[in-house]
Structure 1
């Protein structure tokens, strides 16, 4: 033979080897002869796959979750494909491994199957029946080829049982940490820490053709961490957030249960947050909202809501001339005589400057503390500062403090506590996480019921005919407006009060007037009904 001829034969033989290998790979997952072999002579047909090869190829396709490839190796490809497709969908949350267990015989093979989902592990073995159809070995299909306990039309499904949120709102509804008001989130996370991480449970169950559970094959219970319930009311929190978000400037709102002190809502808008402010620890001049404390002090020293006072345009106290806001006056000449309750409703600075000037150095700080202002609360899950009211020996200092424009500083949280005290008759102990004890220092006995009753009546008059009369249509609403000047910039706007058992404080820094704060409070109160 010529060398040239020999090279041709060797080259052709190499090509034939490649073709045989490619054909064997095709047949591994596609039993039956390819179409171009249909008319070939028996001498050139590829050898059919052995029972061993079919069993191995089926298990490999099953483990790879290739439903059609596995089904094509069975004697009922249509039924197998549908069943395996459903299986992989039902068990998509688990990791599947499968392999042959031992050497197959001519009629049976054993597959070792394992489904795993975290702590849940479900291994089992299934017997595969091997049959010949038209000269080819195939896996006999039945639903028991998935799992030996399955009946016709049945399948497996992975079920997840939530381990349970370790955090709930006041109604017991699961609450993710992301849903906690952003002002409170850090404190709550610090108080609860890793206990927030609940672990879900899982089970592998037999299901019927409708998807209903038939029986549980393997179960791993979840692990619920220590449960914590916040006092936040989800509906009120949503209403408060929408109310402050509706204002373009800086805005905050704090709402408490007047009777229990439970924190119902704390909302701030992005402008307030961007300025680095806090409604819980930040302190601000209270403006005329502090007249609640001034009236409380005066009523404990012989004045009543019906006492006749004056509300002139200006008043001279020592060397200081104290004016009212533009357009504010109450009563009639001479000296604009008026009862205290009318001066309160009209927010007359000159009246309350005179009342405060006539008090003792410690009378305003005492009355403020009786309302909770200056009390230090240690509340699990939140850090707060109610405010500070210092004694004033000088009558001018007392006069200016009397309408919230002196050295008095309060937080929105502190004013919500004060409003709650007026309504409930006692300083409430604020709570954020139920079951965790709040401690208080500096608390003293509250004002008498007769004193607080007069303050309540005046706060109602503010809404029905005074500076917050835009809310007159809201029944059982009590409040006090405040405008607090701060340097040369726009004044802070306040509105504090209560409706039913909900005590609230709204602060809009640099809003220039109290009207917008009344509007924010109104949006909140109307939303909560």
Structure 2
């Protein structure tokens, strides 16, 4: 082929370019190889097996560290994936972390892996128990990669195939129990004595649990104990509280809209069985143990005792008109109550007691000596100063009265008489058991009593019991007639211009109690609360 200008093309694979530079033509001849070097094309990609792009292979030391890190962080998946049997390792590690979940764990590689061996430091902590050991790790290579050779001994060197570790806890138990040996917390201690109990026992009820770490087989059965730390018990304290009685008392008062409280003692011993107050009682800053209230007709237990001690009997003839005049004072009965026939309205003392005749007991008290009511009160526990570990109490007081009018109003609970629910529970217990009652809250810690005297004679108390029983069969608490063996006395105590306090005091079986509903306006609600309480405890 001939080009213009007479130039001949020498080879078929030769190309010509004419480059313009200014007005000058430059002829360049390139071979095909030169074209390939200068022509545009895709970017260079090194081969995939190039050392420049391949991640650096993990060393045996890297893998051992990864296993130790996964072990310490309780991550079974992370630890297992660097072993040569991830499935088995995941299952075993998941189980041991579950079995030891209440323990703290630290783990780290002991130095660096040397050749195909490494060692991991492990330390389990629980309470005062500390178990530290080393785990040898065998490193193996497969397909050019390092891995921890999996066996159950990678958890603990003494584990055989299928075995694991387990943390066992032996509860130290509470250092405080109820009368039946059941553990108690401060939340279950009656509110009225919680502060006193805390002070008596130092406030700390939590004993120290014991712990052990054991090897267990696939069924969870202990094979071998590796480490053990015995628990420690503090000095054990037992309250005389009965859980059933306490719960029943609390339920009974919680069912009352207004303020209410129940104090219950074991009648035969004086031990405190339960003390319950509801939120309305608590919000008034009232105390069933130290707070004192006018007793109303419940004080007729004392007046009847004094009268019998001075020659009367339950069958003695007394008078119960609707009103009676003593000195300048006119004393009425509640509503239009009168017993017997006119003109003198004669009746037996036990009947006047059952129907709570104020005019009868005002006359009886007026005819007593100045100190006769306070003496009988002391015999029944009122006015006695008890020093009871775990609780502060005030039973109340009945003052001596030289004036017959003062004695008269004291005789039916509307004078200067002041008693606590605790004090009236002591009275009921004394009537029941026939001897001076010494209350107790903490077993093994004795109560001391100041001003305590011998209880009234059996002959006197037998008659008082008979009268208290009649109250619950035909008298003012006859709503409890269906509860056999219930003894008691109702009381309605006038309080200034406000609604009267309602009382019911008594005992059934071996439980002596006092129920007070401040400002309930009558004794009826207190009788109902007592019935709920007594039916619950059976």
Counterpart Cα distance in 2 of 1:118 and 1:202 = 7
1:80-91 alignment, distance < 5 Å:
80-91=89-100
State yes or no: 1:275 paired with 2:280: no
Counterpart Cα distance in 2 of 1:46 and 1:396 = 109
CA contact 1:329–1:346 (8 Å) conserved in 2: no
Matched position secondary structure for 2:425: helix
TM-score between both structures, scaled by the size of structure 2: 0.90
1:407-447 deviations in Å (ceiling 9; x for gaps): 01000000000000001001210000000010001011111
1:39-58 alignment, distance < 5 Å:
40-41=48-49, 43=51, 44-58=53-67
Matched position secondary structure for 2:343: coil
Cα deviation, residue 349, structure 1: 0.2
Which residue in the other structure is 2:213 paired with?
Answer: 204
Which residue in the other structure is 1:64 paired with?
Answer: 73
Query: Paired residue for 2:375, among 366, 386, 394?
Result: 366
Which residue in the other structure is 2:192 paired with?
Answer: 183
State yes or no: 1:236 paired with 2:245: yes
Which residue in the other structure is 2:263 paired with?
Answer: 254
Cα deviation, residue 195, structure 1: 4.9
Which residue in the other structure is 2:436 paired with?
Answer: 427
Counterpart Cα distance in 2 of 1:234 and 1:412 = 20
Q: Which runs of 5+ in 2 are unaligned?
A: 1-42
Cα deviation, residue 382, structure 1: 0.2
Query: Paired residue for 1:528, among 506, 524, 537?
Result: 537
Q: Which runs of 5+ in 1 are unaligned?
A: 1-11, 17-36
Counterpart Cα distance in 2 of 1:147 and 1:295 = 80
State yes or no: 1:470 paired with 2:479: yes
Cα deviation, residue 42, structure 1: 5.5
State yes or no: 1:443 paired with 2:452: yes
CA contact 1:195–1:226 (8 Å) conserved in 2: no
State yes or no: 1:378 paired with 2:397: no
CA contact 2:173–2:206 (8 Å) conserved in 1: no
Query: Paired residue for 2:119, among 105, 110, 116?
Result: 110
Which residue in the other structure is 2:31 paired with?
Answer: none
CA contact 2:107–2:120 (8 Å) conserved in 1: yes
Q: Which moved more, 1:401-410 or 1:43-52?
A: 43-52
State yes or no: 1:388 paired with 2:397: yes
Cα deviation, residue 210, structure 1: 2.3
Matched position secondary structure for 1:196: coil
1:304-346 deviations in Å (ceiling 9; x for gaps): 1001111000001111110000032222222211100000000
Which residue in the other structure is 1:154 paired with?
Answer: 163
Which residue in the other structure is 1:292 paired with?
Answer: 301
Matched position secondary structure for 2:513: strand
State yes or no: 1:225 paired with 2:234: yes
Matched position secondary structure for 1:460: helix
Which residue in the other structure is 1:487 paired with?
Answer: 496
Query: Paired residue for 2:318, among 303, 309, 313?
Result: 309
Counterpart Cα distance in 1 of 2:372 and 2:246 = 36
Which residue in the other structure is 1:24 paired with?
Answer: none
Which residue in the other structure is 1:318 paired with?
Answer: 327
Q: Which moved more, 1:168-177 or 1:48-57?
A: 48-57
Q: Number of aligned residue pairs: give it.
A: 494
CA contact 2:127–2:209 (8 Å) conserved in 1: no
Which residue in the other structure is 2:147 paired with?
Answer: 138
CA contact 1:195–1:225 (8 Å) conserved in 2: no
Counterpart Cα distance in 1 of 2:127 and 2:364 = 71
Query: Paired residue for 2:339, among 323, 330, 337?
Result: 330
Divergent runs of 4+, >6 A: none
Cα deviation, residue 214, structure 1: 2.0
Alignment root-mean-square deviation, CA: 1.6
TM-score between both structures, scaled by the size of structure 1: 0.91
Cα deviation, residue 196, structure 1: 2.2
Q: Which moved more, 1:320-329 or 1:239-248?
A: 320-329
Counterpart Cα distance in 2 of 1:118 and 1:465 = 63
State yes or no: 1:402 paired with 2:380: no
